[in-house]
Structure 1
Amino acid sequence: MRPPAGRRVLAVRGELAADPLRRWLRAHALPGAERHLDGVHERVVPTGAGPVEVSVDLGTSPGCEQVVLHAPAAALDEVEGTVRRWLGLDADPAEAEAWLARDPLLAPLVAARPGLRVPRAVAGVETAVLTVLGQQVSLAAARTFGGRLVAAFGTPVSSAPSSLTAFPAAAVLADAGAEAIRAATGVTGARARTVHALAAALAGGLDLDAAAGDPERAGAARARLLALPGIGPWTADYVALRVLGDRDAFLPGDLVLRRALGGLSPKEAAARAEPWRPWRGHALLHLWTAAVFVP
């Protein structure tokens, strides 16, 4: 039997660009751990008392000023904090939009999607591991690899047939070993070794969530990621954007970004983005959204 459900209406600071956020969530939904249907996103959220299933209702309109959260009543306060950070409900994109709208390339994108926010991470371990699984493959392939990892090493939240499965803890993946990760997911041996090395670092004290929002600690965390085998700037900067909360994180080597910029090289993309500082992360989201997450 599931714990009694709680319901809470979460106010949004300013307007939320709900349509691109719904598309982002649907495109990234991890098989076995997440579901998305008609603007309602269900997923597992870790809490101090263990993982719980929650749902967030973003409605169906292009923008929204509130989000409806359902979670076990006893965990509602803790879950609300996680959800607010994950969806950026307390962020104020107005300053970023005003800055980026000065650029003729970004101005129409900002005007078309006011209130666009950078989706953050529910848990640093999950996002970091999925980022490694997504290296140099399509989003669909990354989701497939991630779903296999969840099926092999995750834990169902309840015994109900429809129960979602919690993403495996770093210690579980570290104990499993690289070969077991490779066999379960189908990734290359090198990629499995990177996942294992990352999991071992996370289990051994690399706390990405604790470093979020602290520039000094975030910089140190990024450096530790780059020291791991198989992790380069693209992965470290994506984690910086999604987990560490670096609003200026940028991925000049990203293929989708470079195409959106007209086929620039990574060096040229980095130079083109200099005027966007300190909001390059927001610019990146606008370009990604226009290229991938709109009809």
Structure 2
Amino acid sequence: MDDAGAQVGDAADAPPAAGTRLSLRLPYREPFDVSGIFGFLGARAVPGVEWTANGTYGRTLRLPHGPATIELVPQDNHIRCEVQLSDVRDLGSAVARARRLLDLDADPQAVMRVLGSDPLLAPAVTAAPGIRVPGAVDGPELLLRAMLGQQVSVAAARTAAARLTAALGDAVPWTSTEDDAEVSSELPPDGTSQAADTAGRHALRLFPAPQAIAERGRDVLRGPKRRIEAICAAAEALASGQVDVHIGRDSDELRAELLELPGVGPWTADYVLMRVLGAPDVLLADDLVIRKGSSAVGITDLADHSQAWRPWRSYAGMYLWRSA
């Protein structure tokens, strides 16, 4: 087992253009709510960047030494992670990002002891033991996608992110070899794309870098001018280093930086902290779906009631999302 907590299986050096392929086992603590986290990621999968098929989830990664892809497959007691790397030096980074994305280092028993002791939340905990909080593989990407998703549906946010990626995202120098299907980069009128499923791995791109969005986002993004300007301003702040969104940041300092950006309010800032930093005690109390979920389980005063869930309010929020 390496430092990132993965057991390495078979490895094969493919031709240089195809990178290096590795098969890894990513262990986790039981129980693990596979359907919950894979469903969350699948519903938000951006065509061209991410794909889902037959219970698996895959995506592209922007790593220090070049692009990569991961495909995550649930197995008994572990996640099988198929990695394709431009440079094998990025293996540790790829594994760490995969683990953060699926929250594989969580302690579900500790979470369940606290949340399961609340009689109003206990039925949801029993129904979905081992719930996870989805993480993020790239801080800037998560912030920009959160802003793309403000005040629109999940489907509309996926469409906007897919259009941005098709226009500004860098191509990955390999594609899947499972079959010879070709995928158009054009989105059909309904905003969906074949690239969301198995065919998506044939037209792979990296989510656009902040610099690309800062320079050309105004030509590609659609919608209210204020929203477009806010997204491009955030991209400029990320590209210049004015705002640095990564796993090592202090949560209070990062939150303050985010709130200084136009178009970023408390919900977006806290959502970034929860997913990028893996903050376990962030409750998105103003989220309409969470409020609906709290009403569904019989909670009348969420702010007061949630104090008993510390330090696991992020996980409680996932249960409330599901209850809604």
Please give the TM-score of this superposition, normalised by the length of structure 1.
Answer: 0.88
- Partners in 2 of 1:270 and 1:147 — Cα distance? 36
Query: Alignment partner of 1:14: what SS?
Result: coil
After superposition, the Cα gap between the structure-2 partners of 1:268 and 1:194, relative to the gap in structure 1 and judged at 3 Å, is farther
Supply the distance in 2 between the matched residues of 1:108 and 1:276 (Cα, whole angstroms): 15
2:159 aligned residue = 144
1:85-141 Cα deviation digits (max 9, x unpaired): 111111112212111112122111111111111110010111111101111111111
- Cα distance per residue 1:161-199 (max 9 Å; x no partner): 51311011112112225x32xxx2323211111111111
Q: Which amino acid aligns with 1:48?
A: P
Among 216, 241, 245, which residue is 1:208 paired with?
A: 245
For structure 2, list consecutive stretches of 5 or more residues without a partner in the other structure: 1-16, 176-181, 183-201
Q: Structure 1 counterpart of 2:171, which letter?
A: P
Residue in 2 aligned with 1:158? 173
Mapping for residues 252-267 of structure 1, pairs under 5 Å: 252-262=285-295
- 1:70 matched to 2:106: no
- Counterparts in 2 of 1:1-295, with a 5 A limit? 1-59=17-75, 64-72=76-84, 74=88, 75-158=90-173, 160=175, 162-176=202-216, 179-180=218-219, 184-205=220-241, 206-212=243-249, 217-262=250-295, 268-291=301-324
Alpha-carbon distance in structure 2 between the residues aligned to 1:288 and 1:242: 15
Alpha-carbon offset, residue 244 of structure 1? 2.1
Letter of the 1:67 partner, please give it: I
Separation in structure 2 between the aligned mates of residue 133 and residue 272 of structure 1, nearest angstrom: 31
267-276 vs 116-125, which moves further: 267-276
**Number of corresponding residues:** 277
The residue identity in structure 2 corresponding to 1:187 is G
Give the CA deviation at 1:6.
1.0
Contact 2:293 2:322 in 1 (8 A): no
Unaligned runs of 5+ in 1: none
* Partner SS, residue 246 of structure 2: helix
The CA RMSD over aligned residues, in Å, is 2.0
Distance 1:210 1:21, change over 3 A: closer
Q: Is the CA contact 1:100–1:276 (under 8 Å) kept in the aligned structure 2? A: yes
Larger radius of gyration: 2
Matching residue's letter, 1:105: L
SS in structure 2 opposite 1:13?
A: coil
Does the residue aligned with 1:110 lie in a helix, a strand or coil?
helix
Inter-partner Cα distance in structure 2 for 1:172 and 1:281: 32
Segment drifting more, 123-132 vs 240-249: 240-249
- Identify the range of structure 1 (94-103 vs 168-177) with the bigger mean alpha-carbon deviation: 168-177
Moved over 4 A (4+): none
Q: Residue 29 of structure 2 contacts residue 107 of structure 2 at CA under 8 Å; is this kept in 1?
A: yes
1:210–1:90 CA distance, 2 compared to 1 (3 A): closer
Distance 1:201 1:210 in 2: 18
Structure 1: distance between partners of 2:303 and 2:145: 25
Identity of aligned residues (%): 38
